[in-house]
Every structure is written in C-alpha cells, then in structure tokens.
Amino acid sequence: MMGELSHQIALPEGTISFRFAGHSDRGAVRRLNEDSFLASMPLFLVADGMGGHAFGDRASQAAVAAFSSVFDDGAASPRVVLETIRHANEAVLSVSENSDTPDAISGTTLAGVAFVTIGPGEGYHWMAFNIGDSRIYSWDGRTLSQLSVDHSAVQELVDLGQITRSEAERHPDRNIVTRALGADLEVDADIWLVPARARQTFIVCSDGLPKELSDDEIARIIVFHHSQAQRGSDGMPITLAERLVNAAIAAGGSDNVTVVVVESDMVGSGAGPTTEETIDRDAMPAFLEETRPRG
C-alpha cells in the first residue's frame, strides 16, 4: 500500500501535474500475494505472478525490480521502456534458472503506462504496455474504457466470436494466459501511445479486480470516490486504488488484487481535449509500429 503522491513537470507547452497511488492485497482466499507494483514517475505498472507456477511472487518482484532503478522522474524514452521490458523478461527467466526446484517455471503478467516523449515536435504521450491478462483502463470523467487486450485463452475465443464477453467471465479456461514474462526467451508485448491531454486517468490492475467487479461497477466506484472523500483507520484519505481493491475483496476476493491509479492534468497551450484516440499507426515511430494492439 502507498498513499497518494504528487509530482509536477514543466513542459515547453505548459505544466503537467500527476497524482498517483497503488494498493495491493492477497485477497480473501489466497495464502500468498504474488502481485507486485510500481508507482513512481514516470512509470506505473502491475505484475501478477502466475498462479500454480513456482515462485510467482519472486517472478513479479523481479519484473518490477527491472524497472525500479532505470528511470528518473522526467519523461521516459519509449525505446528504453521496450528495452527494460526485455530485461524484465530475462530477470524472470533467471528466477527459474536459479531455482533449486527441478523443472521450475516462473512467470508473471505485466501491464503499465509510462509518460514518454517520442521525439522533437511529437509532443508527450502515455505509452501503454501489456503482456498477459493484467489490464489498463482509462477514465475520461464519464466513461471507463479498457485500453489493453487480454492475452488469454478466453479472449481468443471472444475474438473468434465463439463466446461472448459475459460467457468469458465464467469460462473454465478464464485463468489461462497466452503470453507472460518468463514463458519464452523473447517477449512479445503490446505497445501503444495515447497523446497526453488535460485530465487523464489510467487504472492499471491485476486480473483480481475484473474477476470480482464488472467495468460498470468499477466506473460507479470511481464516480463515488470523486464525490465522497473517506478516511481510513489511520486518518489518511483512502485512495481510489485502495477503494477499488477493498471493493474487489468485499465482492469475494478470490485472487490477489492490485491497483495502480495515475491522474494527470496538463495546463497550457499543449492541453487539448479530455478525450483523444490512440496515435495513428502511420504516425508512430518505426520501432513501435508492429507492437500496437490490433482491434
């Protein structure tokens, strides 16, 4: 758990302010919390150690550790983010290789957003990245949208039109992921860019949140949180990340639950509309062109 922090960056176009917090809990059923998270400028990410695999907690910790000392508190480079994802995969692979358990396989999902600059004249963006079924949502003040695409067996069935999204939530294979850090020597991450604009909110979470709460329920909690402040037993304000985790546990808490929330507000000549589509593929840097999720 971490309380809400704030940060501000002066940009040529104006000023952008950030507020962010993260919260994690083992839930009501699991003995061990295999989730890890990082919430520190300019990176906000969640790693969910794969249940049933050896050392899932070590795998998620190794993935997060790969990012924790690489970046300063300014805007990051997309190329360095990509390189660090590869290093995180190597770190998770080494957890298995250095294990005393024969045939141990460690794995973890990874999802996050990074505040980046992609070059002169291109402005600032949020770079979202995803491997597995941890999720990234955006909130524009009215609508909750899932930005990431789950790398899961049931999502593939949904894409093929064989089952509906509601059927996927109850499908027996809903816990099977099709991509993960530590699964292969090369990692295949989805990467895409969202132009930085005024008043943006991103919610990064492990699958323990959507297992218990529908998107509509998550949206209602966000609205309620912004309309009604609440303090915890320590007298500190309850963050949106903590409120979402607590709601998932109250709804059943069948898995570990981790949520990181980052809110940004750009003020100045660079502040555009509150809603914006992801950057067009033709305008993306060449090294990112083949990594954007295809709908």
Domain boundaries, the chain: 2-284
pLDDT tens-place string over residues 147-184: 999 998 888 787 778 887 776 777 777 778 899 999 89
The helix/strand/coil state of 163 is coil
Regarding pTM above 0.75, the answer is yes
207-211, 272-276, 282-286: which is most confident = 207-211
**CB-based contact 60:48 (threshold 8 Å):** yes
Q: Which two tokens stand for residue 237?
A: 């304000």
Beta strands in 172-250 (DSSP E): 190-195, 200-205
Residue with the bigger pLDDT between 279 and 203: it is: 203
Q: What pLDDT score does 52 carry? A: 66
Q: Among 111-120, 205-214, 227-236, 264-273, which is the least confidently predicted range?
A: 264-273
Q: What pLDDT score does 269 carry? A: 52
CATH of domain 2-284: 3.60.40.10
C-alpha to C-alpha distances, 268 to 25, 112, 123, nearest whole angstrom: 38, 26, 13
The model's confidence at residue 118, banded by pLDDT at 50, 70 and 90, is confident
The model's confidence at residue 233, banded by pLDDT at 50, 70 and 90, is low
How far from chain centre, in Å, is Cα 19?
16
Q: Which two tokens stand for residue 134?
A: 């941890």
How many C-beta atoms surround the C-beta of residue 294 within 10 A? 7
What DSSP character marks residue 10? E
Q: What pLDDT score does 278 carry? A: 54
Q: What pLDDT score does 288 carry? A: 61
pLDDT tens-place string over residues 63-74: 999 999 899 888
The helix/strand/coil state of 143 is coil
